[in-house]
């Protein structure tokens, strides 16, 4: 999948497509995911030396940012 590292996108499947991870707040190894770590660092938790966390988006809705005060 050609996408930007750190991109969060909605997916209506029951699994994470190859090369992606579901945002369930899980810990990731810095050594294994160095590129992603360099972008999100420890914003969502982790000890910054050996692991970092992904955001936990279970039960949440992604909302885009824009200049309009109206959604839709």
Q: In 23-52, which positions are buried (b, 16+ CB within 10 angstroms) versus exposed (e)?
A: beeeebebeebeebbeebeeebebeeeebb
pLDDT of residue 47: 94
Q: Which residues contact 38 (CB under 8 A, 6 or more apart)?
A: none
pTM of the model: 0.79
Kindly report, residue by residue over 19-61, the tens digit of the pLDDT.
899 999 999 999 999 999 999 999 999 998 999 999 999 999 8
Domain ranges of the chain: 23-51
């Amino acid at each position: 999948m050609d996408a930007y590292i750190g991109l969060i996108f909605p997916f209506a499947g029951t699994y994470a497509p190859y090369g992606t991870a579901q945002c369930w707040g899980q810990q990731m190894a810095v050594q294994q995911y160095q590129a992603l770590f360099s972008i999100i660092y420890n914003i969502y938790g982790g000890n910054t030396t050996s692991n970092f966390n992904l955001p936990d988006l279970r039960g949440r809705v992604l909302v885009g940012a824009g200049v309009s005060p109206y959604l839709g």
